[in-house]
Amino acid sequence: MVILITGITSGFGKAMAERLAADGHKVYGTHRKAVEQIPGVSYIKADSTVEEDVEATVKAVLDAEGRIDVFINNAGMGIGGPLEFTSMEDAQRQMDVNFTGMVRFVRRIVPVMRAQGGGKIICFSSIGGLMGLPFQGMYSASKFAIEGYCEALRLEVRSFGIDVVLIEPGDFATAFTAQRKSVAAPEAYEVYKTYAKSLESIENDEQTGLKPEYLAGIISKIVRMKRPGYHYIISTLEQRLSVFLKAILPQRWFAAILSSYYKL
């Protein structure tokens, strides 16, 4: 199969590119910075926030292969901190990279898959797209947007043989933690006195989380499935339990659990 993955320089993207190439698929991946390339993977320099880059990426794959069987929207970034202190510039950047960048690619890939009679669109959401996480509110908002978009897209394109799958990872040990842009204004720490402890807890959970190769193995199976599920929560048992509790508990009860967990 011909697979296009956005953001393959590290973390999930790199692990998926390595695994899917090893599986024998023809893998194309986007990157924004120079990196050591994975053997057997074709690299395309592109920024998902730039329309011309997105158009050129899709064209390059089609020119080379004539089709795109699987599109994996993985590119993303995180902005942390109290919402009150998050600048509009950062808020717009968060949505443009995580959500609008995905939309740019999907708009160009759906016609391709429709014309060829089917395909798979796999988009990365997060457990943070299923519940609003304190001090990660803008990140959660971008992932909530992905959830709603993909639910609607799935209904619209299923008659064309296109599967839309949501991936909802929990905490993983990747470079995402180090690359997160967090509000550093002293006033934020003074006003929100639990911010420092919450941030420490968030980063610890990520750094001690699952390995991206584990997720790549699951993606490998999803790619091969004739009828994949609508969504996959890929996380520890504790985090899967939190999603279940949110669905069954009164909102105040679940809010109390989150407040305790994040030391609010």
135 contacts 79 by C-beta, under 8 angstroms: no
246 contacts 119 by C-beta, under 8 angstroms: no
pLDDT in tens, 203-240: 777 777 789 999 999 999 999 999 999 999 999 888 89
In this prediction, residues 21-41 reach a mean pLDDT of 93
194 contacts 147 by C-beta, under 8 angstroms: no
Residue 242 CA to residue 249 CA, distance in Å, equals: 10
Per-residue pLDDT at 71: 98
Give the confidence band of 13 by pLDDT, cuts at 50, 70, 90. very high
Query: Phi first, then psi: what are they for 42, rounded to 5°?
Result: -95, 125
Of the two residues 196 and 140, the one the predictor is more confident about is 140
Query: For residue 178, is pLDDT > 70?
Result: no
Angle of helix 212-224 relative to helix 11-22, nearest 10 degrees, comes to: 50
Q: What percent of the chain has pLDDT over 90?
A: 75
Residue showing tokens 């959660």: 140
150 contacts 135 by C-beta, under 8 angstroms: no
Give the confidence band of 177 by pLDDT, cuts at 50, 70, 90. low
H-helix or E-strand spanning residue 2: strand 2-5
Query: For residue 260, is pLDDT > 80?
Result: yes
In this prediction, residues 34-60 reach a mean pLDDT of 94
pLDDT in tens, 137-157: 999 999 999 999 999 999 999
Q: What is the DSSP letter of 80?
A: E
The residue type found at 154 is R
Instruction: List the domains of the chain with CATH numbers.
Output: 2-261 (3.40.50.720)
Give the confidence band of 168 by pLDDT, cuts at 50, 70, 90. very high
Query: Phi first, then psi: what are they for 108, rounded to 5°?
Result: -90, -25
Measured CA to CA in angstroms, residue 96 lies from 88, 162, 198, 242 at distances of: 12, 25, 26, 28
Give the confidence band of 7 by pLDDT, cuts at 50, 70, 90. very high
Paired residues of 122 in beta bridges = 72, 165
Query: For residue 97, is pLDDT > 80?
Result: yes
Residue 81 CA to residue 184 CA, distance in Å, equals: 8
Q: Tell me the catalytic residues.
A: 139
Residues in the chain, overall count: 264
Query: For residue 175, is pLDDT > 80?
Result: no
Q: What is the DSSP letter of 210?
A: B
Mean pLDDT of the chain: 92
Q: Is 6 exposed, middle or buried (0-12, 13-18, 19+ CB in 10 A)?
A: buried
Q: Which of left, alpha, beta for 242 (phi over 0: left; psi -120 to 50: alpha)? A: alpha
